[in-house]
Amino acid sequence: MIYFDNSATTSIYPEALEEMNRIYKDFYGNPSSLHRLGSNAEKILQKARETIAKTLSVSDDEIFFTSGGTESNNWAIKGSARANRRKASRILTTKTEHPSAIECFSYLETEGFSPELLDVNPDGVLDPYLVSEKINEKTSLISFILVNNETGAMQNLDEVIRAVRHKNPDTLIHIDGVQAYGKIPLNLSKTDADLVSISAHKIHGPKGCGALYIRKNTRIRPILHGGGQEAKYRSGTENVPAIHAFATAAEIIHERMDENRKNCKMLKNIIIDELTKEFGRDGFFVNSPDNAYEGILNISFPGVKAQVLMHHLEARNIFVSTGSACSSRKSVQSHVLKAMNLPKVNIEGAIRLSFSGFNTANEAISFTKAIREIIPVIRY
């Protein structure tokens, strides 16, 4: 099996799985309970919080555990917008965000907020000058994805933040770091961001677990109410085994970050080089920009439907994803690629390859061999 869909989810590190099972078995107490079993679970929870905080270079009391990236994005966007609506109701994001972020802006419009989706350039990057033009005294929040989940495009983080702070220092900045965390360095002590979302299952941790960094003194409201866990910010009994496994995976992937990036770059180069030899520079399209994170490669072939190609690859036990969402009733073009103003032929045939440290050069070569055999058969 060749698994090139690591942006969707990753296989769990064996060490993280082993640790998660150990906690499930031996430390099953509720961390809010006052007895010894609860105290032991609370210590494990706190240790995990410290570990995640260390990887981001922040204080442990700025890390709050959630059920994953979707909840973290929802909480960051809805919670901060609602907390600051008396000051301002204008909220900004880009047209290339993950659905878990962009749908929040659509929903908040029903609550009386004024969202605006900003254009990106052909590389999928937000122009700091545009940000500077759009930010004003009524802007309470701007949210943007750091590493795009479809193309790997990386935002000019420091430049965008400087543009925001120059126009309105009170505007909150939320970064969707789900595809960036553990893949590229994130030193939040040197990054003037207020909120950052991360997720466990993108870094070989378990599904159903994530975190939100909330900088001290940031105004934000809970979106879950109940027992007041997570310093009264996020109610619900913490998933201690998953959180511990999250921290275990975070330690491992940060230790291997440089090695993983080099491996991903090698795989990306092999695939582009081999496809260029076979099809020429005009025989396929690289939709990922030059500045893209090495682990994501979005490509398409003229005269080829992405879903058809994906299923032919699956028949050979090669797993990728399409660059556009698809349902049984209709095909929906990728909003990310459309926002980059790519031609229709690029968008219709787009597939996303996303790599991890577990992928090998032999897998990349096998993929290109399969492509050479499949494309002539399915091209219309």
Q: How far is Cα 233 from Cα 256, in angstroms, rounded to an integer?
A: 32
Q: For residue 77, with 0-12 CB atoms within 10 Å meaning exposed, 13-18 middle and 19 or more buried, which class applies?
A: buried
Between the CA of residue 231 and those of 55, 118, 121, 282, what are the distances in Å?
21, 34, 40, 56
Evaluate whether 304 touches 337 at the Cβ level (below 8 Å).
no
326 is catalytic: yes
Q: Which of 101, 80, 54, 68 is nearest to 211 (CA)?
A: 68
Task: List phi, psi (to 5°) of 351.
Answer: -120, 150
What tokens appear for 31 in the block? Answer: 């961390």
Type of residue at 354: S
The set of residues, in sequence order, having a beta carbon less than 8 Å from that of 180 and lying 6+ positions away, is 146, 147, 154, 186, 293
- Give the containing element (helix H, strand E) for 320: none
Choice among 104, 209, 264, 326 that is catalytic: 326
Q: How far is Cα 31 from Cα 44, in angstroms, rounded to an integer?
A: 9
- The catalytic site residues sit at 326
